[in-house]
Structure 1
Amino acid sequence: MQREFCIGSVPVMSQGEGVRRVGEVEEFKALAHPLRARLLGALREHGPATATELARRFATDTGSTSYHLRKLAQAGFIAEAGDPGHPRARRWQAVHRVNEWSAVDMAATAEGREASAIMRRQQVDILIRDIEAYEAALGSLPAGWIDASGVGDLLVRLTPESVNMLWARFYAHVDELVAQDAADPAARPVSIVVAGLPRLGEAS
């Protein structure tokens, strides 16, 4: 089971209702579009916004942004948010905090494999952007954050069952820590990108 928050963002516990299980390939394809994923991530991280506000954030035109927001709404990822202060402005909000899907189900069709590939590469792009931003800010970051931050890689021998156990324990522990730090003023958004892939093409 794979989970993601969304492109370029970090979970905010107050946004959305929890976990959305993406079961259909068409739903996953709607989520895997690069701009839609970033729009959804922004709504989760920063709260409700209009198409104009999101277009300004991502340097896109309002018409295109509106179209992709409607596609996300049709797939059930976002919904209109009432705004008493601006009754004529259509504001959108995220419906769920995170998404999850079955990698096996998505790999069963060519469309699912293509959408999964797009999603994986977007998640790698998150890591690259976050590394570049981190390196640019190193001169001004507090020592505690420099000490806590990092990127690591391991090569270990595990069964598929053990890898799935690792995913389950990892997500459960992250949820525990997010809840623990929810009211701590020292907490700040932290981008976490994880991967677990079999090393292929080498002797076992």
Structure 2
Amino acid sequence: MGTVRGMSQSDGVRRVGEVEEFKALAHPLRARLLGALREHGPATATELAHRFATDTGSTSYHLRKLAQYGFIAEAGDPGHPRARRWQAVHRVNEWSATAMAATAEGREASAVMRRQQVDVLIRDVEGYEAMLGSLPPEWVEASGIGDLLVRLTPDSVNTLWARFYAHVDELVAQDAADPAARPVSILVSGLPRDAA
């Protein structure tokens, strides 16, 4: 989940253009359901309800909402023709921050989305700390978190986004077949501060 710039629909990117679509995506449980489908592959409402400790009816409702706006679709399961399995349709979502900031609803949905991304970071930090004693030294050395405060123009920040995501894609392709590769959570932000 997140704003991704400089990618096309053919890259597996869904452009969210309407506030109603964005509100559907920004719902906390829906965002987690979509994230799970992207990370773990197709699943039923029952499987996802078990994963997130929710009831199946509520989970099914939120999956249908995601499907209504085209974020997920049914995945055929020949072994279980009556089981409704869902899969993510796109690898990532992008949206115009300017368009979402133009209305109160868009601003509210954007705020919810930002806080969800911070929650993901907190869960990732807690998970990392829990397994730190069992991680191989090379993973301990490679892992980290940092922050910078720099002076940039909006054009330079957009250039940074484009280069960052292009480089991530190159590295993912490079490491695709390497058995040492494992899932790595990367959260980035570029938020202007008050000039005062």
* Normalised-by-shorter TM-score class: over 0.9
Q: Is the 8 A contact 1:17 1:95 kept in 2?
A: no
The aligned counterpart of 1:131 is: 125
2:3 is equivalent to residue 2 of structure 1: yes
- Give deviations 1:29-64, integer Å, cap 9, x for gaps: 000000000000111111110000000000000000
1:1-204 equivalences under 5 Å are 2-3=3-4, 18-200=12-194, 202-203=195-196
Aligned-partner Cα distance in 2 for 1:29–1:195:
21
Q: Number of aligned pairs?
A: 191
Aligned-partner Cα distance in 2 for 1:123–1:188:
21
Aligned-partner Cα distance in 2 for 1:121–1:171:
21
What percentage of residue pairs aligned between the two structures are identical? 86
The aligned counterpart of 1:9 is: none
Aligned-partner Cα distance in 2 for 1:190–1:89:
31
Aligned-partner Cα distance in 2 for 1:44–1:85:
21
Question: How far did residue 199 of structure 1 move?
Answer: 1.3
Aligned-partner Cα distance in 2 for 1:136–1:83:
36
Aligned-partner Cα distance in 2 for 1:94–1:183:
23
Question: How far did residue 136 of structure 1 move?
Answer: 1.1
Q: Which has the higher helix share?
A: 2
Question: How far did residue 17 of structure 1 move?
Answer: 6.8
Q: Is the 8 A contact 1:54 1:65 kept in 2?
A: yes
Deviating beyond 2 angstroms after TM superposition, the runs of 4 or more aligned structure 1 residues are 1-4
Aligned-partner Cα distance in 1 for 2:99–2:170:
28
TM-score (norm 2): 0.94
Question: How far did residue 118 of structure 1 move?
Answer: 0.3
